Amino acid sequence: NRLFAFYLDLSDILERTNLPHTDGCLTRYESIIKSFIELLATHYRKEHKVNFYAAQLNLSAHHLTQIVKLVTGQSVSDFIFEMLFSEARNLLTHSKLSVQEIATTLNFSDQSSFGKFFKRKAGISPVDFRKDVLFVEEG
């Protein structure tokens, strides 16, 4: 579902950009973005660094960052962190995994760094997020 939503968002972004299309085919940049999103959907749980995705696409991290920013208006890190945050919310809401297990599943170095990441994105800790979700479901 997340990948499908990404594709819809990407399609909308690409329609709004002024990149030249050649005979209805994807431009080089659009092709790179599509490949990046596919890689991200496969590897986001384990790979959080721009360098990994750039290397997989045979690009420098700087070049991948420029292309993604030009086409989407977002950074590569924004995409990575949004996927991680979405999965974190999903796991906190729909699984019985502990916060520590979720941190491990999403390849954070420890529960503390996962907690800091989540709090920056959500404004509340993972534990409080889970309590709020349970309260809403019960109430």
Domain ranges of the chain: 2-75, 82-138
Q: How many CB atoms lie within 10 A of CB 100?
A: 13
Q: How far apart, in whole angstroms, are the C-alpha atoms of residue 36 and residue 47?
A: 12
CA nearest 13: which of 72, 62, 83, 64? 72
- The reported pLDDT for the residue numbered 22 is 47
Please state, in angstroms and as integers, the Cα–Cα distance from residue 138 to each residue in 85, 90, 92, following that order: 24, 18, 16
- The reported pLDDT for the residue numbered 41 is 87
What pLDDT digit, counting tens, does each position of 20-51 carry?
Answer: 554 444 588 888 988 998 899 899 999 999 99
What pLDDT digit, counting tens, does each position of 84-123 carry?
Answer: 999 999 999 999 999 999 999 999 999 999 999 999 999 9
- The reported pLDDT for the residue numbered 12 is 63
Quote the pTM value.
0.80
Backbone angles phi, psi at 25, to 5 degrees: -85, 160
Fold of the domain spanning 82-138: Arc Repressor Mutant, subunit A (1.10.10)
